[in-house]
Amino acid sequence: MKIRSIIATALVLLTGLVSFTGCQKGDLVNNPNVANAGSLTPLPLLLNHLTATLIKSSEFPFADANKYDQYDIANYAYYRGTNNYSTGFTNTIDSYDIFKYALALQKQSITQLNSKTNVYYAIGQFFEAYAGIWLTQRVGDIPFSSVNGSTTNLTPKYDTQHDVYKECLLLLDSANNTINSLYSSPNPTYKLTPSALLSSTGDIFGLTNQQWQKVINTYRLRVLISLSKRAADNADLSVIPQFATIINNPAQYPIMTGNADNLVYKFNTASNPYSLFTLGFNPYNNFANVGSTYLNITTATKDPRTFVVASPAPAQITAGKSLSDFTAYVGADPDLAQSDLLARASAGPDNTNNAYSFSNFNRYYVDKSGATQEPFVFIGYPEMCFGIAEAINRGWISGASATWYTNGINASLALYGITDSKALTINYPVKVGTNAQGNVWGTVTADVATFLTTVKYKGDNADGLAQILTQKYVALNNNSGWEAYYNYRRTGVPAFAQGGVGIGTPNNLIPRRFLYPQNEITYNAANNQAAVSSQFGGIDDISKDTWLTK
């Protein structure tokens, strides 16, 4: 398919990829030191590498994405890094590794199965589209189709962001249609059973054939809703008709029907501990606080997720408030200088005057297996529900937006194990007075009924749209990587904190994009500069919008 030109560059720049899970280490394709190394690689092995390395280190719970999504705010750089957006948005990492293996999976599937009409080819198309969108939504125009299969052009020209999205949407449609056709294939080599696992050895997510098809179509809905600002002025993309086609044809385009269909990354104690441990953030709970952007929403709406994610600010309890008082939960403001955040978060010798809420220590910092934490959903049903509700609100499709909105909220609550009247234990997030970190502070009762009444949908209007986007933000906490940032950038909802010195950009505003990867700047300078000139007036600037969000 496409992106071969960018792969040629990647083959020069990448030498030994290591999976995050330890399932597969090393470069499986095109090893120049081994004769015919790229001639035959088992398809499950290529799939294993793709699924194991799909999620970048910055996208894991409590990693960079969660910080710049303003869920988790560092108050001390040595242990938890900074909140500086200039640092985080300078010279993005790339997705060339996903490109390379997606194309290798497609090529090898044709070689080994003698046809493009096979499930591995379809899954390869999904990963190819995912890699293209992953990079273009960060930086703008990227190399995508300029060489048409050549592995010798190391200075490929750039495609417009519009054209990258157009091609990726075609790839996703093709992937779905191929899988659909294989359910009724007369050839047993290619025929698929919807409920059978795609690959018992290659797929670390452990999904069935139809669940992968649902992931593809649900992801396509995400991509289409992300194009909302371009839907009206780019008729050739058919954004609204494509969205309607998927929703109105569930037999042809199955989508997720519940949390069981979520693309969930699973941790384990032995070889792949929960990311707080691998990132080196354990046990430093006292050097980061829950963000005010998140807690201001959950406390105002009496959201029981408040009690699961956060602990009350010790100073508020010292002042006489109860554990169940939502006003006792106070988020840290990323606008503030980090020195100021630290002073407020560590006030007093015994922590009784700490001004901010910390993360739930026993939930996130004790169990390496991921069993006590909410599942790490990367593409999921709650987000899909909010996306469909948004599409109805915008008039793209008909339907009951209130139902989809409520389904999204309930699905998110279920991921946290929250039910009405459930007793929730509050633990000391840090040592407070004579009470040790992790000891039981008390219990509160989840009042889901009151919460749902508070956030009752206001209708298909501007207020209703703001509700959808706000609850989507809450649901994306520690899930789905950078999606919360991308949604804020597209819609402005919820309003991220900005304008203060803590943001760290020249204008103290949230960046609108990432800078190009250094590899492109170094090895493809002329074409990179041409792309920068055509989009941003010659300066690779984080404050400039790309076509996607202008």
Q: pLDDT band at 19, cuts 50/70/90?
A: very low
What is the arithmetic mean of pLDDT over 4-30? 42
Query: 255, 289, 304 — which closes off a domain?
Result: 255
Please report the pLDDT score of residue 320 as a whole number: 98
- With 0-12 / 13-18 / 19 or more C-beta atoms within 10 angstroms meaning exposed / middle / buried, residue 319 is exposed
Domain assignment present for residue 105? The answer is yes
What is the pLDDT averaged over residues 543-547? 98
Q: Given this model, what pLDDT does residue 96 score?
A: 87
Q: What is the dihedral of CA 532, 537, 543, 547, to 10 degrees?
A: -70
Q: Are residues 310 and 452 in the same domain?
A: yes
Measured distance CA(517)–CA(537) in Å, rounded: 18
Confidence of residue 382 (pLDDT cuts 50, 70, 90): very high
Long-range own/partner contacts, residues 490-496 (CB < 8 A, 24 or more apart): 490/226, 490/228, 490/229, 490/548, 490/549, 491/228, 493/465, 493/466, 493/469, 494/293, 494/297, 494/469, 494/470, 495/293, 496/70, 496/293
Is the same domain home to 373 and 465? yes
Structure confidence at residue 518 (pLDDT) = 93
What size, in residues, is the chain?
550
Dihedral sign for Cα atoms in the order 316, 319, 321, 323: positive
**For 9-31, what is the mean pLDDT?**
42
pLDDT of residue 11: 36
pLDDT > 90 fraction of the chain, expressed in percent and rounded: 89
Same domain, 320 and 408: yes
Same domain for 171 and 314: no
Tell me how far apart the alpha carbons of residues 323 and 215 are, in angstroms, rounded to a whole number: 39
Task: Assess whether 280 and 243 both reside in one domain.
Answer: no
Asked whether the bond before 314 is cis by omega within 30 degrees of 0, the reply is no
- pTM value? 0.94
Residue 54: what pLDDT? 97
Final residue of a structural domain among 194, 225, 255:
255
Residue 392's pLDDT band, with cuts at 50, 70 and 90, is very high
- For 447, residues 6+ apart whose C-beta sits below 8 A from its C-beta are 302, 304, 420, 421
SS3 423: strand
- Can you tell me the distance from the alpha carbon of 123 to that of 178, in angstroms, rounded to the nearest whole number? 10
Please check the confidence at residue 39 and state whether its pLDDT lies above 80: no
One domain for residues 346 and 375? yes
Q: What is the pLDDT of residue 9?
A: 41
State residue 25's pLDDT score: 46
What is the average pLDDT across 140-165? 83
User: Residue 153: its pLDDT value, please?
Assistant: 77
Asked if 234 and 380 sit in the same domain, the reply is: no
Q: Which residue segment(s) compose the domain that 403 sits in?
A: 275-501
Tokens for 397? Answer: 């499709």
Domain boundary among 483, 501, 519: 501
In a domain, 529, yes or no: no
pLDDT one-digit tens code per residue, 176-213: 999 999 999 999 999 999 999 999 999 999 999 999 99
CATH code of the domain in which 308 resides: 1.20.120.840
CA torsion sign for 195, 201, 202, 204 is: positive
Cα angle 217, 218, 223 (rounded to 5 degrees) comes to 90
Residues 339 and 467 in one domain: yes
Residue 106 tokens read as: 């497609």
Asked if residue 262 is part of any domain, the answer here is no
Q: Count up the domains in the chain and report the number.
A: 2
**Is residue 242 domain-shared with residue 347, that is, in the same domain?**
no
Does 240 or 8 have the greater pLDDT score? 240
The answer to whether 391 and 225 are in contact (CB under 8 A) is: yes
Q: For position 305, what pLDDT does the model report?
A: 98
Q: Phi, psi at residue 72, to the nearest 5°?
A: -130, 120
Tell me, yes or no, whether 353 and 246 share the same domain: no
| Helix axes of 96-113 and 4-13: crossing angle, nearest 10 degrees | 110
Q: Are residues 21 and 164 in the same domain?
A: yes
Residue 485: the pLDDT is 98
pLDDT 10s digits, 408-464 = 999 999 999 999 999 999 999 999 999 999 999 999 999 999 999 999 999 999 999
Q: Nearest to residue 198, comparing CAs of 188, 212, 185? A: 212
CA atoms within 13 A on the CB side of 238: 12
Residue 10's pLDDT is what? Answer: 42
For residue 455, being part of any structural domain is answered with yes
User: Is residue 70 scored above 50 in pLDDT?
Assistant: yes
Looking at residue 97, which CATH number applies to its domain? 1.25.40.390
Task: Select the more confidently predicted residue: 495 or 24.
Answer: 495
Residue 329 located in a structural domain: yes
Residue 170 falls inside a structural domain? yes
Quote the pLDDT of residue 151: 57
pLDDT value for 446? 98
Q: If you write DSSP's letter for every residue of 447-481 in order, what string do you get?
A: -HHHHHHHT----SSHHHHHHHHHHHHHHTTTSST
Residue 535 lies in a domain: no
**pLDDT for 426:** 98
The predicted model gives 77-92 an average pLDDT of 94
Residue 518 lies in a domain: no
Same structural domain, 239 and 293: no
